Amino acid sequence: MRPAISIKDFSYTLPEERIAHFPLEKRDESKLLVYQNKTITHSVFKSLVDFLPNNSTLFFNNTRVIQARLLFQKETGATIELFLLQPEHPSKLLVEIMRAEGTCQWQCAIGNLKRWKDGVLVKKVGGVEIQASLIDRDKGLVAFRWTPEQKSFSEIISLAGLTPLPPYIKRDVEKTDEVRYQTIYSKADGAVAAPTAGLHFTDKVLKSLNSKAIKTDFVTLHVSAGTFQPVKTENALDHTMHEEQIIITKQNIELLLQKDRPVIAVGTTSMRTLESLYWFGVKLIKDPHAAFFISQDDPYNHEHPSPDKETALLAVKDLFDRKAAEAITGATAIYIYPGYSFQICKGLITNFHLPGSTLMLLVAAFVGDDWKRIYEEALNNQYRFLSYGDSSLLIP
């Protein structure tokens, strides 16, 4: 039985004016707080390479934010908002439903639901007509149909949808958000929130990594709206963690197996993916046919001692070899909080997070009680907070 974790212990006062409602003009001009060997240094993001260990490997999350907010105007004048949450049909896999043509179904968060009694909602934009029908009111299940049918759902929402800015950015979406709330290396459609640590990277910063023989690689975690779900339970252990789809590649495993290359996760989503990969390996050691799903309790319900990193990763490599696969899709609900033992990641690049959130717990698990000192320094030095805010490099 694990001792309770009071969520109040991972809160702090965040003044409204410290929340960044707009991005900086230049991505890499954001401030960078460096926490290394218990020492805090202040810098700027374009100087990131000066603080990274030689020969380290940076893992980025290459998910791409979709235009997940769809606004429909009823004849009565009422606006119904459909926020895409989970794909349901013809596939629950994001990579597949984005290619769907003509029709698909999603579970949605529905704004102004009481004004949508029945009937079909219609939206016309850019030569496209999209229709929405409510299938299950309680579950928020919505069927979409569109013409021309040859267009993929990805193309449809790119035309008809809006950027899903976080709820704490209290302003209308602007055209520039389509570019700025997206990393420059985003590739795989599916996220409804940006992996914000990556928003600071520019081509120039990426090129600068070569000077220290730093390697880069990409994992995919499609960030879900659950990332903004507050911890409402007094004991953080009673919180139900959200599930997200992840894709790992054979190249990821081969790089992770290289010795003497510290792994730096670019963002909490990359960190959650990499740590999930270890626990998947642990499951495969016991059962070579185990499903690729990491529950929130998996890291805490295993026999001691845990296998070492290499043994766990070799079990995953063996699966790739058996399947003759280059990429494997799974899902994770991994919950990282103080007491968690990190298996893969030695460093983390991340923004400054909401008080009392699961991301705050993850940071506290990684750096210990020094998270309070780090956040106090950031507040005292006028750092900008949350998605469009400044950055930190944490190497405990």
Q: Is the CA virtual torsion 372, 378, 382, 385 positive or negative? A: negative
> Does 137 share its domain with 194?
no
State residue 225's pLDDT score.
85
Angle CA 196–268–381, to nearest 5 = 65
Question: Per the omega criterion (within 30 degrees of 0), is the bond before 90 cis?
Answer: yes
> Does 43 share its domain with 26?
yes
- Residue 371 CA to residue 336 CA, distance in Å, equals 15
* Structure tokens that stand for 90 in this block: 């013809």
Rounded mean pLDDT of 31-40? 97
Res 208 pLDDT > 90:
yes
State residue 75's pLDDT score.
83
Final residue of a structural domain among 127, 160, 193:
160
> Does 156 share its domain with 216?
no
> Does 191 share its domain with 320?
yes
CA within 13 Å, CB half, 17: 2
Q: What CATH number did the domain enclosing 224 receive? A: 3.40.1780.10
Q: Is the pTM of this model over 0.85?
A: yes
> Does 365 share its domain with 236?
yes
State residue 72's pLDDT score.
96
315 in any annotated domain: yes
State residue 304's pLDDT score.
78
* Structure tokens that stand for 388 in this block: 């469009």
- Strand blocks (E) in the chain: 31-36, 39-44, 57-61, 63-65, 69-73, 79-89, 103-111, 121-125, 128-136, 141-147, 188-191, 215-221, 244-249, 263-266, 293-294, 327-332, 347-351, 391-395
State residue 76's pLDDT score.
84
> Does 193 share its domain with 300?
yes
79 in any annotated domain: yes
- Residue 363 CA to residue 370 CA, distance in Å, equals 10
Residue owning tokens 């202040």: 42
> Does 213 share its domain with 345?
yes
- Residue 246 CA to residue 192 CA, distance in Å, equals 14
How does pLDDT run across 228-259, given as a tens digit for each residue? 888 999 999 999 999 999 999 999 999 999 99
Final residue of a structural domain among 160, 195, 214:
160
Higher pLDDT, 76 or 284: 284
169 in any annotated domain: no
Final residue of a structural domain among 95, 126, 160:
160
> Could you tell me the end-to-end alpha-carbon distance of the chain, in angstroms, rounded to an integer?
28
**Mean pLDDT for the chain overall:** 95
168 in any annotated domain: no
129 in any annotated domain: yes
> Does 307 share its domain with 269?
yes
How does pLDDT run across 337-386, given as a tens digit for each residue? 999 999 999 999 999 999 999 999 999 999 999 999 999 999 999 999 99
Amino acid at 60: F
2 in any annotated domain: no
Domain limits at 320?
Answer: 7-65+181-395
Question: Which long-range contacts link 171-179 to residues 24+ away (Cβ below 8 Å)?
Answer: 171/21, 173/69, 178/67
> Does 90 share its domain with 123?
yes
State residue 302's pLDDT score.
82
175 in any annotated domain: no
> Does 347 share its domain with 386?
yes
Nearest to 333 by CA among 226, 234, 228, 250: 226
How does pLDDT run across 90-129, given as a tens digit for each residue? 999 999 999 999 999 999 999 999 999 888 999 999 899 9
> Does 51 share its domain with 103?
no
The 3-class secondary structure across 158-209, one letter per residue, is HHHCECCCCCCCCCCCCCCHHHHCCCCCCCEEEECCCCHHHHHCCHHHHHHH
CA within 13 Å, CB half, 340: 27
Rounded mean pLDDT of 140-161? 95
State residue 227's pLDDT score.
83
Percent of the chain with pLDDT over 90: 93
167 in any annotated domain: no
* Residue 1: pLDDT band with limits 50, 70, 90: low
> Does 123 share its domain with 204?
no
Total domain count, the chain: 2
Nearest to 375 by CA among 33, 36, 38: 33
